[in-house]
Amino acid sequence: MSDRKIVYVSKGLPKNMTYNGQEYLSGIWKEQTDELHVATQQIAEDDVANPAYHGGPDRVVCLYPFEHYAHWEKEFDQPLEKAAFGENVTAENMREDQVCIGDVYQFGDAILQVSQGRYPCATINKRNHNNQLLKQIIAAGYTGYFFRVLQEGTIESDSPIIQLSAHPAQVTVASIHHLYFHEKSPDPKVLARMLELEELATPWRNKLIEKQQKL
């Protein structure tokens, strides 16, 4: 697919914000920038507030599909700010049903591998002043996803996106989300195939193991 495209890139350090009179600390507030300096553990001048649930080597770069912005703006009849979902890369033709766990892409001179879908939390509601957003994101599966870094480098706002390899298992980010959140009795064979993915990040592997144990 030749029409993958970065729309903009963003970064930001945790800061204190207020929602419904309550102060909270979060790294979800990103600002548009010209380039990202991507290392194996994190992006320069970018960080998370709660490392127990965010960040780490399997969750260095967060991507959110640009197409979803139009969906949410129509759904809630309100405009969204840039990087409204706390993502580092906002891109076209990189939706959750178009990318697979283990796929490898080059962004600028950084080489990244899809590691997991995003497990969204209520901070997204606070960021967008919309207490219905998280519920709708989970329903739609429009979560975005994460990359681990195979080669450090710089991603510029106009860097091309080149797919270097497609994982042979072809398990999409969307399919894992759907199985976990929306299938009460998933096919054990499908679940087992997902768990065979060595490239799937540990937090999501553990979630799937829990699902498997309940069957």
Q: What CATH number corresponds to the domain at position 111? A: 2.40.33.20
The reported pLDDT for the residue numbered 116 is 97
* C-beta neighbour count of 93 within 10 angstroms: 15
Q: How large is the average pLDDT for residues 105-129?
A: 95
Q: State how far the Cα of 126 lies from the Cα of 111, in Å rounded to an integer.
A: 32
Is there a domain that residue 88 lies in? yes
Give percent of the chain with pLDDT exceeding 70: 99
For the cut 70, the answer to whether the pLDDT of residue 128 exceeds it is yes
Helix 202-214 with 188-195: angle, nearest 10 deg: 160
Is there a domain that residue 203 lies in? no
Structural domains in the chain (count): 1
Is there a domain that residue 44 lies in? yes
Q: What's the token pair of residue 115?
A: 């590691």
Is there a domain that residue 116 lies in? yes
Q: How large is the average pLDDT for residues 42-58?
A: 85
Is there a domain that residue 85 lies in? yes
Is there a domain that residue 207 lies in? no
- Write the DSSP assignment of 89-133 as a string of letters: EEEES--TTT-BTT-EEEETTEEEEEEEE----THHHHHHT-TTH
Q: How confident is the model at residue 49 (pLDDT cuts 50, 70, 90)?
A: confident
Is there a domain that residue 112 lies in? yes
Q: How confident is the model at residue 118 (pLDDT cuts 50, 70, 90)?
A: very high
Is there a domain that residue 21 lies in? yes
Q: How confident is the model at residue 173 (pLDDT cuts 50, 70, 90)?
A: very high
For the cut 70, the answer to whether the pLDDT of residue 42 exceeds it is yes
The reported pLDDT for the residue numbered 214 is 85
The reported pLDDT for the residue numbered 24 is 86
Instruction: List CB contacts of 81: < 8 A, sequence separation 6 or more.
Output: 128
Q: What's the token pair of residue 148?
A: 């681990």
What residue numbers bound the domain in which 52 lies? 5-167
